[in-house]
Every structure is written in structure tokens, then in C-alpha cells.
Amino acid sequence: MKQKEIIAVFDNDEDLVSAIRKLLENKIRIRDAYTPFPVHDVLRLLGRETRLPYFAVIAGAVNIIAALGFLYWVAVIDYPLNFGGKPAFTLPAFVVITYLLTILLTFLITSLLFQVRTGLYPGKEPEEVMEGSTDDKFILALGSNIDMNEKDRSMADSILRECGATDIIERERDNEKK
């Protein structure tokens, strides 16, 4: 299904932020924003959240248990060695391995999760390159699943102009291909 959408180009992040504020006040849906560096106001205003840190904490907790469990299994169950009568389960000596394995596994899992959640992987073709968004342009994409009506469109247009958009493009977006 093809949809119309509006692409607005800004020269700096302050204009972009003020435009987003006004559009949100007027309840116009914003699809996404493309910036050359993370602009925290934009991230906050668009209300996107990530659960990545929670996943990381859970992964870390699981990994501590897994690492200690593995060491216990090796030293006590699978192949207990007699070191001059010392106990097989030497917890202080296992702290280092547990700590390192926790870090190793947690960062591997988290960076994989990041790739899964963002859908990024080496060799992926970028879904849509907004020209200049990796250089010096701050780009706002309006419109969502429901087609914007005329009133909204003209209002969005005036807000964008007012906030200093250097370029406003109306185009058709193929929504099927994602």
C-alpha cells in the first residue's frame, strides 16, 4: 500500500526539537526522526524507550549463576581433583572466573540483542537513507498508517515552515517493503 508522507529537513537540532514539540501539541503523528548524532530531546519527545538495559541485567544475573554452576559442576561433580585434601569447591578462586565469564557472556548477549532489536547486522542494506542525515541534516518524517487528511497536512506544513525547515518534501512511501 502506498502512502503519502511529509519529509522535513532541518539544519539544526534546536529547530527540529521545537517542530516536534509543536507537532505533538497539534496531535500530528510523527513516524521517525533521523539525526547525525543522538539528540536527547528528540528521543524523549518521541517517547521511544528501550528495554535493552533490563535485558542486560537479567542476562548478567543468569550468567553469574550459569558460570558458578559450571565451575561447581566441573570441580565437584564431573572431575573432582584432590589438591592435598583441600575442598573441591574453592569459591574464592572461582570468583575471578565467574566475574570474567559474566562480563564476557553478558556483553555478547547484549550486543546480539541490540542487533536483533534494531534489525541491524553487517551487510544489511539500509532501509531508507535520508540524504544528509548522517552528515549535517536533521530530518523528520511525518505520517503513519492512516493517511493524513488535508487539514492536518496544511497545519503540519505551516508548523514546519514556521520552525525553520529548509526543505519540505511530500512523497509516496511504499509501506509493504520493510
Partner 1 sequence: MYRTAVRPALVAGEKDYRQVTRDITGPAERRPARWWYIAMGFATMALVFGLWAIFMTIYKGLGTWGLNNSIGWGWDIINFVWWIGIGHAGTAFSIFLIVFRAKWASSINRAAEAMTIFAVLNAALFPALHLGRIWLVFFIAPYPNTRGPLWVNFNSPLLWDFLAITTYLLLSLTLWYFGMIPDLATMRDRATSKVRKAVYGFFSMGWVGSVRNWIRYEALAKILGGLAAPLVVSVHTIVALDFAVSVIPGWHTTILPPYFFVGAIFSGFAMVLTIMILIRKAYSLTDFITEAHLDSICRVLIFGSMVIGLAYMTEIFIAWYSGSEYEFFTFFKSRVTGKYTSAFWIMVVCNAIIPQLLWSQKIRRSLKAMFIISVIINLGMWYERFVIIISSLAQDYLPSSWVSYSPTAVDIGIYIGTFGIFATGMLLFIRYIPIIAISEVKSLARKGKCATKTAAE
C-alpha of 24 from chain center:
21
Question: CB-wise, 131 or 154, nearer to partner 1?
Answer: 131
Q: Does 10 bind partner 1 (CB under 8 A)?
A: no
Identify the residue among 79, 151, 172, 176 touching partner 1 (CB under 8 A): 79
Cell numbers 536483533 correspond to what residue?
A: 116
Selected range binding partner 1 among 21-29, 114-122, 153-161, 162-170, rule: CB under 8 A: 114-122
Question: CB-wise, 128 or 167, nearer to partner 1?
Answer: 128
Q: Does 94 bind partner 1 (CB under 8 A)?
A: yes
Q: Does 85 bind partner 1 (CB under 8 A)?
A: no
Residues engaged in binding partner 1 (CB under 8 A):
12-13, 32-39, 42-43, 46, 48-50, 52-53, 56, 71, 74-75, 78-79, 83, 90, 93-94, 96-97, 99-101, 103-104, 106-108, 110-111, 114-115, 117-136
